[in-house]
A and B are shown apart, each in its own frame.
Chain A
Amino acid sequence: MRLFSRFAMLLLPLPCLLTGQQWEFGGSAGYGLFRDVKVTAGAASGSAGFASGVAFGALLGNQMSRWVGGETRYTFRRDDLRVSSGSAQATMRAQSHALHYDVLVHGASKESPVRPFLAAGAGVKFYRGTGAETAFQPLTNLVVLTRTREAQPLISLGGGVKISMSGRALLRLDVRDYLTPIPSSLLAVPPNSRISGWMHDFVFLVGVSTVF
């Protein structure tokens, strides 16, 4: 939580430094899909990652020019930990909090009622295992799902569209791919196990925002 606070303090001033711009504030909800990573332990193999689940977010953005904008986004994900091999599976409740700053390049001017955009940015993702720990968990030879917390750097890629609904209200459709290294404290691999790759979290959000 202390890490979270420090990072937020770094990110929040960014838009504030850009004065004289049009501001945007909004919230969104949607669904996220993870792509599992492969894990092997000798002859045994399986996949590990996070279960798909709901997503909620908030944003604070500004329009720096007619075409370019930026926004600080926070996204909450309910994404349970899981590992599976054949018919065996283990899960543990988990959640994540993504905080990042994206630069938005719009395909239409800010006066246009429909504004598609591309977004790219970076930030941090906080993973947190919240499920109950038990003395026995299946597939601990591959991955041990662990109730702990971990922060990983995040790369955000995606896009969306803003649709003007009235003078100040916007309907937003966003899609992002949040890339992070594997949170190896939550998806802990025992000494004889190997896991590699990046975690891809595809998040689809529908939101509303207001400009001021």
Chain B
Amino acid sequence: MLYHIVRQNLILLPAILALAVPLAPAATFGRVVPIGGHASDIALDEARGVLYIADYTSGRVHVMSTTDLTIGRSITVPAYPGSLALSPDGHYLVITHYASSAGAGLSQPGQNAVTVLDLNSNQRRTFGLPSGPVGVAIGIDGLALILTQDEFLLLDPASGATISLGTVASVQSQTLPVEQANFPTQILAGAMTATADGKHIIGLGGKAPDDGSTSSLMRFSYNVLTRQITAAAHLTTSPSLGPRVISAARDGSYYMTGWALVGCGTGFLADCTATGPILAQWPHASGALNIGSIAIRSSKALIYGQISQEGQKAASDSQTVCLPNGTCVTVTTPGATPPPTTAAPPNLLILDADNLTVRDRIQLSENLAGRSVFNSDESVLYSISDSGVMVLSMAQLERAPRVVASQPDVVFRGNFCNSGPITQQIDVTDPSGNAVPFQVCLANSSSCTAPGISITPSAGVTPAKVKISIDPSRIGSLIGTQAFLFELLSGAAVNMPPPPTRGRAETVTANVRSRFRVLVNNREPENRGAFFNTPGELVDLLADPARNRFYVLRQDTNQVLAYEAAGYNLLATLRTGNTPTAMAITFDRKYLLVANDNSQLANRYDLDSLQAVQPILFPLGHYPRSIAVSGKAVLAASRVAGPIHTIDAIDFNTLTAAPLASLGPYKNDIHSGTTLTAAPNGSSIMAAMPDGRLLLYNANVDAFTISRKDVGALKGAIAASSFGFYMVDHFLLNESLVTVAPVVASGDSSAGFAFVDQEGYSAAVSAGGRGYLQRVVTTTARSPLPTMIVESPTTGDTEFPFRRALAPLADRSAIIALTTSGFTVLPWNFDAATAVPVLDRVVNAADFTKPVAPGGLVTIFGSQLSPITLSSTDTPLPTVLADSCLTVNGVIVHVSFVSPTQVNAQLPFQIDGNAEVVLRTPGGISDALRFTILPAAPIVFRSGTAGPLTGIPTIVRATNNELVTVSNPIHLNDRITIYLTGMGQTVPVVPDGEAAPADPLSSTLLPATVTLGGTPLSVEFAGLTPGSVGIYQINATVPFRGVPTGFDIPLTISQGGLTTTVSVRVVN
């Protein structure tokens, strides 16, 4: 009885766990060690196995064991310990005490002071300081650099002697007593750290109080060896530079403070200074000083941190930075952003250290709140948190339960051949292999799903296979591709989906761990183009004029995706700066340039090697958003953290950019959303602004010659031709930027435009949501009727209203468009009348002879079979590829390749005997072609290649896993695998178009025999090849004796009365 009860409960356990998902409290990561006060700083003493925690409010330094994470003792020190530093030899712990008051008596009196603890003798000395200390760090020389509100002091911990290294200005911590709910980072508003080699100290001091909206700062670096303050720059930022911590890479080549990743150090652009370039900045920061932390994990080139994202604020255009040379600029984070509706829970971001791309995001139990330090092997992170200290083990982090979907997008391709239900499968897993309960839900839906979409199972435990079924007839009116966002929820997992790109507000739903899109397309016969799924936020598209390639800018992962245009395959993925916005190719066609909205750099890539080369450095506070290349000047439209945004000129000799003094007779004062486009012949660059302004740079006179504002707002397409025409929004403009005619209907949304010779191509979205492409004759501004695209082109958004969503390929083979699922390939003659397909013959795909069998791969030859050449490796194979779909006896057939003269497909398993094949294309329906399907027709593929040899039968020796050839002959006692098609039905049945499973294997229904030189071979397996569609294999062993040797020994396969023979070489 007890057994049955236990067994029954065990069976129900996964279901109970799954149902409990929404009810369970959210799992979090990190072990919190409370201290009963407010931690202001920490210092790790690995030699003694302890972490020193300065408790600002209790006037103690807690000593926490790093072994058992308990606080064994607390050292009472003078009041208000604000910062700590441990000498490199572990001899001294230097503690600064910030106690500046406005003369009002504090109930717990204190003084500005520094205490030196001799950790060897347990002796301590306290020295008074003339002004409040903001921070302390110790260099390799063992001397402590103390930043006070008035000066830099160098303290020798051994003797207590101090030297003043100079005065400081604009550093002002809060006066005590402060308002309640203020934390040490908000009171002190400073941070300092020494590089791992101890040769540099980097830090900053702020002006407090700082409410998170605006920071006034002094950033500095100190060269320990020369005892020189090498840089001390004053700047303001908006939002505030929070969290107020600083972390440097071990090699000193970069550091991060607040939301800014700053480059410095030998090997980059200059010697290590505090005024290095901003490599990247986190686009979601709220500016809170007391929430979050930063720690660089140098060995992995990752940054671990929390950067507060709550209460995002609008960017300010009026903050200034005053450099020592008198130049003033201002640093901001990007554009106006409404506050989020729901605050994100405390979370740890794991970011790439070069461009802050989010690798992972982990939910924490409470906010980090100050300095973080890794131990020497970077296996444990200690961080100040709300309660005291949080300890995060990197090994445990890797094993922490997560829930992720196997793919970001699941694409359903219905078509006019088949509007019936389609099912696909995704894997829901925990990369660490844990069994984690989860639930699948449609985002923003109370019912978790949508009509016509079923998820089975909708809840489970990882690893799990989830089937998604789509019934297009129940989804309702489908126009183009409809996207449904699904969420994986789990109360047991700790991962979180990455925040949205740019400064958009994040809507947080409890227990959402990751997301995936279900994309449903049900194309109509009049739709043109083949769409390729490319997940992510694609914001720019550029065809290479010198190579048969095109480039897609993926903003959410900070990448350029380089595709070859022959097969639309991904050639390379290039890393960009943070928030890439636009691309351009240099006039010599050698380099690709990428503008970044959250980096002071524009990336540069060698297009021959597809490798990054030295980037272009923009002035501090300039963030290039758009770049255009003329025959004379290379210009960038920069969002400037200052009073005005500017057009900057790029100098390729120095790889720097500088704002133009003026734009000809006009002020260099542009809109932050200005987008540039260059004429292909290099004669001009047009600048379009969302407020309706237009500018034209004339390369012949190297000046801006036109400035107009004829409309109140502009957005959408932007393009320039080599023949004096321009396109912006709905309007075709002449060479004076005067409107010639609108080329997009007034109610439609302009998405993209491209000029080719005297013609143009306009991509737009109708008021009803249908995407279309339209040819435009520029000289007459007349357009034929539009052609519907299989899915809608993407349009710009509020922050980046202009979009380049169309790119004709250099070889004029196709036009690429950015569309809902990724990109769509349209034939060059997309709007040409199409001819009815003509079928010539059906043959097997193995050797192109007549015998074919159920489930086998076949090739259909003919003419007008498809408007473009396209192949698919998706599984299940699509039922429509490009614009072609095929039926056999009325049954939809899965196809893997289409071209104007050839279609490759898999015959249905259920059909044999006489059959008729019909092909449907946009040109019409072919006549039926009759052919015979045999129960079995085993044919060995002749597709093997070895060096220059082709047409080799696909027989593989198990010994070396290479094809059998004269130089790799079959030996006696060898095990061989023969790959073939046409072996008919199998057990168990594998659905048409789907890859055969590895477990269980699917064996042929009709047995197969194999002889070599007349001697039977032992057949161990005959059936479908796991992971492949329509491909069979026979595993056989050659006997030890009895097989003749020679160059042309017949290998004969017999099945169902049909035999096929190939000649192979056999040796002893």
Is B one of A's binding partners? yes
Beta-carbon contact of A135 and B952 below 8 Å = yes
Q: What residues of chain A lie closer than 8 Å to B112, measured between beta carbons? A: none
Best-buried of A132, A135, A190 by chain B (most CB within 10 Å): A135
Among B944, B949, B967, B1047, the residue within 8 A (CB) of A133 is B967
Can you list, as one digit per residue, whether each of A139-177 has a CB less than 8 Å from chain B (1) or not (0)?
010001111110000000000000000000000000000
| A135–B1068 CB distance below 8 A | no
Contact digits for B288-314, partner A, Cβ 8 Å, 1 yes 0 no: 000000000000000000000000000
What is the bound-complex CA distance between A132 and B962, given in angstroms?
11
Q: Name the B residues within 8 Å of A5 (CB-CB).
A: none
Q: Residues of B within 8 Å of A, CB-based: how many?
A: 23
Docked CA distance A53–B957 (Å): 31
What is the minimal beta-carbon distance from A131 to any residue of chain B, in angstroms?
11
Q: In whole angstroms, how far apart are the Cα atoms of A138 and B946 in the complex? A: 11
Query: How far in angstroms is the closest Cβ of chain A from B356?
Result: 47
Which of A134, A138, A140 is the one whose CB lies under 8 Å from B962?
A134
Interfacial chain A residues near B226, Cβ < 8 Å? none
* B960 interfacial by beta-carbon distance below 8 Å: yes
Q: A190-B1047, A191-B1048 are in contact. Are A133 and B968 (CB under 8 A)?
A: yes
Beta-carbon nearest neighbor of B956 in chain A = A135
Asked whether B712 is an interface residue with its Cβ less than 8 Å from the other chain, the reply is no
Residues of B contacting A132 with CB < 8 Å? Answer: 960
Are A140 and B966 in contact (CB-based, < 8 A)? Answer: yes
A136 touches B967 (CB 8 A): yes
Instruction: Identify which of A136, A137, A138, A188 gathers the most chain B CB atoms within 10 Å of its CB.
Output: A136
For the complex, is B947 an interface residue (Cβ under 8 Å from A)? Answer: yes
A21 located at the interface, meaning its Cβ lies under 8 Å from any Cβ of chain B in the complex? no
Q: Are A144's CB and B967's CB within 8 A?
A: yes
Tell me, yes or no, whether B969 is within 8 Å of chain A by CB: yes
Of residues 951 through 970 on chain B, the ones whose CB sits less than 8 Å from some CB of chain A are 952, 957, 959-960, 962-969
Cα(A133)–Cα(B959), bound, Å:
10
For the residues of A in contact with B, the DSSP-based class is: loop
Q: Report the bound CA distance from A137 to B949 in whole Å.
A: 10
Q: Is B1067 an interface residue (CB 8 A)?
A: yes
Given A135-B952, A136-B949, A190 contacting B966 (CB threshold 8 A) = yes
Residue in contact with B946 in the complex, picked from A136, A148, A191, CB distance below 8 Å: A136
Asked whether A135 lies within 8 Å of B967 as measured between CB atoms, the reply is yes
Interface residue from A134, A149, A188 paired with B968 (Cβ < 8 Å): A134
A134 to B959, alpha carbons, bound, how many Å? 11
- Return the contact of B963 from the options A135, A137, A145 (Cβ within 8 A): A135
Q: Are A133 and B962 in contact, CB atoms less than 8 angstroms apart? A: yes
B1047 touches A136 (CB 8 A): no
Scan residues 664-711 of chain B and give those whose CB is less than 8 A from a CB of chain A: none
CB atoms of B967 and A185 under 8 A apart: no
A144 touches B962 (CB 8 A): no
Q: Are B1068 and A140 in contact (CB under 8 A)?
A: no
Cβ-defined contact, A148 with B962, below 8 A:
no
* Contact (A134, B967) CB under 8 Å given A188-B1047, A190-B1047: yes
Residues on B with C-beta less than 8 A from A149 are 1068
User: Beta-carbon contacts of B987-1027 to A below 8 Å, as 1s and 0s?
Assistant: 00000000000000000000000000000000000000000
Chain B contacts with A in 930-962, Cβ cutoff 8 A: 944, 946-949, 952, 957, 959-960, 962
User: In the complex, A145→B948 CA distance in Å?
Assistant: 18
Query: Which chain B residues lie closer than 8 Å to A148 at the CB level?
Result: 971, 1067-1068
Residues of A within 8 A of B960 (CB): 132-134
Given the complex of chains A and B, what is the CA–CA distance between A149 and B1068 in angstroms? 8
Report, nearest first, the 9 A-B pairs whose CB atoms are least far apart.
A136-B947, A137-B967, A135-B946, A136-B946, A135-B963, A135-B962, A133-B968, A148-B1067, A135-B968
Known: A134-B962, A134-B967, A135-B949. 8 other contacts (CB 8 A): A133-B959, A133-B962, A136-B948, A144-B1065, A146-B967, A148-B971, A185-B1068, A190-B966
14 contacts between A and B (CB under 8 A): A135-B962, A135-B964, A135-B965, A136-B947, A136-B949, A136-B965, A136-B967, A137-B966, A140-B967, A148-B971, A148-B1068, A149-B1068, A190-B966, A191-B1047
